[in-house]
Chain A
């Protein structure tokens, strides 16, 4: 294990995780709103925002899937050391992280069951950038409507049609995060 794996965790875990969770919760509660996530310094190519989400939410009870270019030794070691989360394939994952194209196909992930819709995967999508432009978002958490740059509106609209089942997304770029839960309706492309 490289020493890199031992570094880059939260300097003060209880407080940093509390602040990171607040940002993540605000993002999930207000789809489209872009929040800042700081405190984590994961090895490249993972973004600090995605790193902070993993440190805040993952542990031995949450299997993680590293998709595509993220499935590298340095990052595997970092996640194992800091969270103890088992690294798995898409079908077992509680969290999956990667670029949009690497996360495909979406139907490989758990979408919950009708009695337990919460037993669905959360996908952390690494984005080149995150801007309040593009698709029009409406639904719970949004006052009237808002806009967010999304990787694939049609796929996310199909996901929303599964409600109350479906995947929930965090979108991360550098130290920024936004979320798109399954409850959000989408217009435009």
Chain B
């Protein structure tokens, strides 16, 4: 295998992270401070997720890493390779075959199962941070359940733009208690946080926080009665697999305004194409070739 300890981290560090994960699961949505280590990759590039994965992996796991929904983005490739080397675990690109999925910015389209763990990379774990930069203040606000500032911010959006102007990292309330940052997933993914059969773990390395959602947790996106939360995506089917229910990336194809929409979840798109689903642009190309 390698000269490193299993999954790179030393045992004492893993124990410290494991204890934080257990407390995070016991108090859903609460950010547990942990002594994040300096990893051999930069802060901001997934060190929190990597440490949570390292403390969670067993030799029997099948590990998948996605960034922006895709397995083949460079940082996903790099993290996958890191664990292949240091933990010797099997890796996969198939969502359904994976037991642990580390993700940056997306929740896979395929429904997760009870046998899976989703590990999120989190840049700024504090949902109140952009309203109040001081940790000493936001910690107090969480302890007092003082979330008025967040509602004021969302309401100011409505009065200025006519709608809530948060499109990703859309704040949620967990089990009626803690307001939580779901990491910068598009708000399209927010409904998947709730009532999810899988364990969801969140790791923020630079900010030294771990938090968690046990399976089937109650997770509500913040909204107002007259402005209910809306999970939105590009109003378009996937041009490769014709999916109408998946989150889409917009790809610019030429400099004359040409564009196409494709699934951000590459495994979902590939699986659908293999099942014979055909998007408009892929169909056009096949026709052209015939």
Contacts and interface: CB of A to CB of B under 8 A. Distances in A.
Interface in A114-167: 114-118, 120, 122, 139-143, 163-164
B128 to A, nearest CB: 14
Given A17-B11, A22-B58, A181 B25 contact: yes
B98 to A, nearest CB: 15
Contacts of A113: 143
Given A29-B199, A30-B214, A142-B216, A18 B178 contact: no
Interface stretch (B13-21, B165-173, B248-256, B272-280): B13-21
Contact of A140 (B32, B59, B142, B175): B175
A108 interface: no
B6 interface: yes
B269 to A, nearest CB: 30
Contacts of B32: 118
Interface stretch (A41-49, A53-61, A71-79, A97-105): A53-61
Given A57-B18, A141-B217, A143-B216, A118 B27 contact: yes
A17 B14 contact: yes
B143 A14 contact: no
Contact of B5 (A14, A57, A120, A182): A14
Nearest to A180: B26
Interface residues of B, number: 45
A141 B12 contact: no
Nearest to A55: B15
Contacts of B58: 15, 18-19, 22
Nearest to B115: A26
A141 B215 contact: yes
B153 interface: no
Interface residues of A, number: 41
B18 A25 contact: yes
A175 B58 CA distance: 19
Interface in B116-159: 139-140, 142-144
A6 interface: no
Q: Which of B12, B26, B140 counts the most chain A CB atoms within 10 A?
A: B26
A58 to B, nearest CB: 8
B18 A56 contact: yes
Contacts of B139: 115
Given A28-B22, A29-B214, A140-B216, A164 B27 contact: yes
B111 interface: no
B94 interface: no
B72 interface: no
Interface of A: 13-15, 17-19, 21-22, 24-26, 28-31, 56-59, 61-62, 94, 113-118, 120, 122, 139-143, 163-164, 168, 181-183
Interface of B: 5-7, 11-12, 14-16, 18-28, 30, 32-33, 55-60, 139-140, 142-144, 175, 177-178, 197, 199, 212-218
23 contacts: A13-B11, A17-B11, A17-B14, A18-B57, A21-B55, A28-B26, A29-B25, A29-B212, A30-B214, A56-B18, A115-B139, A117-B30, A118-B20, A118-B24, A122-B22, A140-B28, A140-B216, A141-B215, A143-B197, A143-B216, A164-B178, A168-B26, A182-B26
